[in-house]
Amino acid sequence: MPLPLISEAPVADVTPDVTPDVAPDVAPGSKRLIDRLSADGRLPLADFETLLSSPSDADRAYARVRAADVAQRQFGNRVFVRGLIEFSSHCRKDCLYCGIRKSNREAERYRLSPEQILACCAEGYRLGYRTFVLQSGEDARYTTEVVTDIVRRIRAAYPDCAITLSIGQRSTAAYQQFFDAGADRFLLRHETADSEHYGRLHTAGQTLESRLACLSDLKEIGFQTGAGFMVGSPFQTVHHLAKDLVFLSEFRPHMVGIGPFLPHHRTPFGDQPAGSVDLTLFILSLVRLMLPTVLLPATTALGTARTGARDAGIQAGANVVMLNLSPPEQRPKYLLYDNKPVSGEVFEMTEAVRRSLSRIGYDIVVDRGDHPKEIR
């Protein structure tokens, strides 16, 4: 029997792995490492250090084109939107980089009632949002019971929506209760995978070990789990960033939040320089290559750091955008860093994002936007 002329293999399998002429002047050493990362989903620490030490424009372009190609194969030109509801700016933690840290006595604090949170969801739902991200400082007033009740009410009112929590460290039992009440996802950035660096960004009593224990609990319970870190946080070295990438390659989270560090004037790091947008974009591309199915936002911090950088994040391999559904009058009180955008009506912001993404060939979709689950 003659061989069929048309291969029955899925398209992705017959598409050449590397587009020729992409960044032709990429350094052969960098190309080899980026190709290996893509093929194996991991690299040794020293290879990440080499890649990250001083990537050239061509290196970054090569990673970007390859990562955008992977995102395109996984998600097409679809970008998922998340409706962020910042429901409390009270925080018992004192992270040195964060504008709502406990010691910032100038920060105005607020809490949203369950009814106000549900009103945010209602507006978001009307505009096509199918994931609600409930984020807050670590606020003891929202006990396990209170949060569980809020999750239950959202779950009952919006059975077709995903509920994501981003409320910091809690007990295993509390996490389990939130999951049982219907929460689907949990974001808890690891912040840095180096315990000494972790110590320099946080106060005594906050340890990387306890953070990672929470992350592994969350994954074990069954949450789609998100880790992540800032690029350019104070004291960060290439070695630390390489450790972050090794950690992600081992933990294999469903979601990864990465943005540049941006100073907040009322924190001990108020006079530190902001993280590099270009390095953040390069790292987003590496994460996409390492975790092809990961849900990867082009973060608010990225969009704040440079005009147009959020779109650049999508072009670098990100596939999620988070927009703020919080009541406009409260937004100025949830300032994690200076210049965080606070104005804008949700409908207008959504349309602005839709327009700017469509100019680069992407569509925002009405979809829960779950992780495809096949983590290699």
Q: Per CB under 6 A, which region of 53-61, 195-203, 260-268, 283-291 contacts ligand 5AD?
A: 260-268
Structure tokens at 3: 């061989």
Rounded least distance, CB 167 to ligand 5AD, Å: 10
Q: If 0-12 CB within 10 Å is exposed, 13-18 middle and 19+ buried, where does residue 204 land?
A: exposed
Which of 124, 259, 297, 313 is close enough to bind ligand 5AD by CB under 6 A?
A: 259
Which of 337, 353, 364, 371 is close enough to bind ligand 5AD by CB under 6 A?
A: 337
As a whole number of angstroms, the distance between CA 87 and CA 139 comes to 10
Residue 255 lies near ligand 5AD (rule: CB under 6 A): no
Which residues within the stretch 4-23 sit at the binding site for ligand 5AD (CB under 6 A)? none
Q: Per CB under 6 A, which region of 70-78, 146-154, 205-213, 255-263 contacts ligand 5AD?
A: 255-263
Which of 262, 277, 314, 321 is close enough to bind ligand 5AD by CB under 6 A?
A: 262
Rounded least distance, CB 351 to ligand 5AD, Å: 26
Residue 87 lies near ligand 5AD (rule: CB under 6 A): no
Neighbours of 160 (CB within 10 A): 9
Element holding 141 (H helix, E strand): none
As a whole number of angstroms, the distance between CA 208 and CA 202 comes to 10
As a whole number of angstroms, the distance between CA 85 and CA 134 comes to 5
Residue 189 lies near ligand 5AD (rule: CB under 6 A): yes
Q: How many residues bind ligand 5AD (CB under 6 A)?
A: 12
Q: Residue 330: CA atoms inside 13 Å, Cβ hemisphere, count? A: 20
Task: Output DSSP code: residue 166.
Answer: E
Which residues within the stretch 190-249 sit at the binding site for ligand 5AD (CB under 6 A)? 191, 230
Query: Per this entry, what is the length of the chain?
Result: 376
- Kindly compute the dihedral angle of the four CA atoms of residues 345, 346, 351, 354, in this order, to the nearest 10 degrees: 140
Neighbours of 220 (CB within 10 A): 12
Q: Per CB under 6 A, which region of 201-209, 219-227, 259-267, 327-335 contacts ligand 5AD?
A: 259-267
Rounded least distance, CB 17 to ligand 5AD, Å: 33
Which of 66, 197, 202, 264 is close enough to bind ligand 5AD by CB under 6 A?
A: 264
As a whole number of angstroms, the distance between CA 80 and CA 13 comes to 25
Nearer to ligand 5AD, 272 or 315 (CB): 272
Which residues within the stretch 295-314 sit at the binding site for ligand 5AD (CB under 6 A)? 301
Structure tokens at 111: 């809490």
Rounded least distance, CB 26 to ligand 5AD, Å: 30
Which of 158, 179, 198, 261 is close enough to bind ligand 5AD by CB under 6 A?
A: 261
Which of 70, 79, 98, 325 is close enough to bind ligand 5AD by CB under 6 A?
A: 98
Residue 97 lies near ligand 5AD (rule: CB under 6 A): yes
Residue 165 lies near ligand 5AD (rule: CB under 6 A): no
Burial 21-39 (b: 16+ CB within 10 A, else e): ebbeebeeebbebbeebbe
Q: Per CB under 6 A, which region of 84-92, 126-134, 137-145, 258-266 contacts ligand 5AD?
A: 258-266
As a whole number of angstroms, the distance between CA 86 and CA 359 comes to 29
Rounded least distance, CB 269 to ligand 5AD, Å: 7
Residue 336 lies near ligand 5AD (rule: CB under 6 A): yes
Q: Per CB under 6 A, which region of 32-40, 107-115, 256-264, 344-352 contacts ligand 5AD?
A: 256-264
Burial 173-191 (b: 16+ CB within 10 A, else e): ebbbbbbebbbbbbbbbbb
The closest alpha carbon to 163, from 148, 146, 145, belongs to: 148
Burial 127-153 (b: 16+ CB within 10 A, else e): bebbbbbbbbbbbeebebeebbebbbb
Which positions touch ligand 5AD (CB under 6 A)?
Answer: 97-98, 189, 191, 230, 259, 261-262, 264, 301, 336-337
